[in-house]
Amino acid sequence: MMRIATILALTLFMLPLVQANSEPSWSHEFESGYISTQPLVVDDSVYVRTSGFWTGEDRPIVAAFELQTGNEMWRYTSQTSLQHDMAPMLFVEGGSGTCGAWNDLLLVGWTDGKLTALSPTDGSLVWQNQTEVDIIGITGKMAHDGDQVIVPTRTGLSSFCLADGSQLFDIDTGNIGWRNGVAMTEHGYAYGDENGYLHEVDHNGNVTNTYLGEGKIRHAPLETRHGLFVHMQTTQGSTIYLNGAVLANMGGSPAMPLSHNERIYAATSDEWISLLCDEQSCTVDSVVPFRSNGELSIRVVESEIEIWAPSNTPDGGWGVFNQTSLVRMETTTFDTYGTAAPGFAQGVIALGNDAGILLVDLQPANVPSQAPSQETKETDVVGLLHLVAV
């Protein structure tokens, strides 16, 4: 993919951001590809990956930037992953366990089936291993469990030692998965697939398969006191399941839900959804018209909860919700389609979208961070750039 440089694009990036404060921010435009997964802010670094359908010499990368300056520290390029890399990166702090000791690692799953462990310091390859490929490989959210990483593969679930990347177990269900992240549960792990099955694996490797219905499970299930929560994509829209029973029917192309305390937050092409889980069950408590199809993220500001949802529309931006309603829209000068959740740290917001643009907003550590916004959005200009870039 080639992005055509235009005077409009140059003009766009010279426009100042209108912010609620004057704290510094910086941006980086990748030469090709999208930002489809959440940037990670860890200590003094920002990590981000690109995705896309790759042709010619363009390839997906993982890049690290200095938090304060935006200077690129390193980049790692996969020469063999040619399809959309949708698996979120996973940062694991150094430690030790039964299978050995390891330093800090940045774990990256690729659509060519490879799992790579990179050094967060310089991007060097610490170890790698290969998982199953059926057209594509790893596309779902991984989980850190003690001295191992649990990886949803194209056809099952695998575990790898963090110290050396050796495989500890491999489970093949025979059903393919896409963006089907794995969740850690009280008894083991849970994940779904493209055929409507929910798979639960205990710590002894025993597998229980439950058919929920005709549809696709494209997120990590959520564990609640009432059983596993699943938001399944169907041909007619989507269906929410709780402990195997239908809870509600909603809009199409559901986002990846998340939970916080007694609530679950979800979204579709039609609505943002808040569910309240009390002692009896979970019920839909609030529905707000909104379009979000990717990742959601939570930020706590002075004990208040904010749920951020990327608006997957030409106008883009991020909807910021409280527990039951839309509070505001956060916008930037580069708004367009997006599915990546913002990355948060104390006084930091890292935003990315389908235009392949990363923007990092910095504020003093004692001031709750707010996303850069503008009063008048350049939607027409950015929309044109999106069409040119794709």
Strands 227-233 and 238-242: antiparallel
pLDDT in tens, 224-283: 999 999 999 999 999 999 999 999 999 999 999 999 999 999 999 999 999 999 999 999
pLDDT in tens, 130-151: 999 999 999 999 999 999 999 9
CA distance 82 to 46: 24
Beta bridge partners of 289: 271
- 96 vs 15 pLDDT, higher one: 96
- Retrieve residue 207's tokens: 């597998």
pLDDT in tens, 292-302: 999 999 999 88
What stretch of H or E contains 8? helix 7-14
Average pLDDT over residues 114-134: 98
Q: Where residue 367 falls among pLDDT bands split at 50, 70, 90?
A: very low
CA distance 62 to 110: 11
Which pairs with CB-CB distance under 8 Å and at least 24 residues apart come from 60-64? 60/33, 60/85, 60/110, 61/30, 61/33, 62/89, 62/106, 62/108, 62/118, 62/123, 63/28, 63/30, 64/120, 64/123
Query: For residue 104, how many other CB atoms are within 10 A of its CB?
Result: 16
DSSP state of 367: S
| pLDDT score, position 364 | 60
| pLDDT score, position 363 | 78
Mean pLDDT computed over every residue of the chain: 89
Residue 288 has pLDDT above 50, yes or no: yes
Predicted structure pTM score: 0.87
Average pLDDT over residues 329-349: 95
Residues counted in the chain? 390
Hey, what amino acid is at 385? L
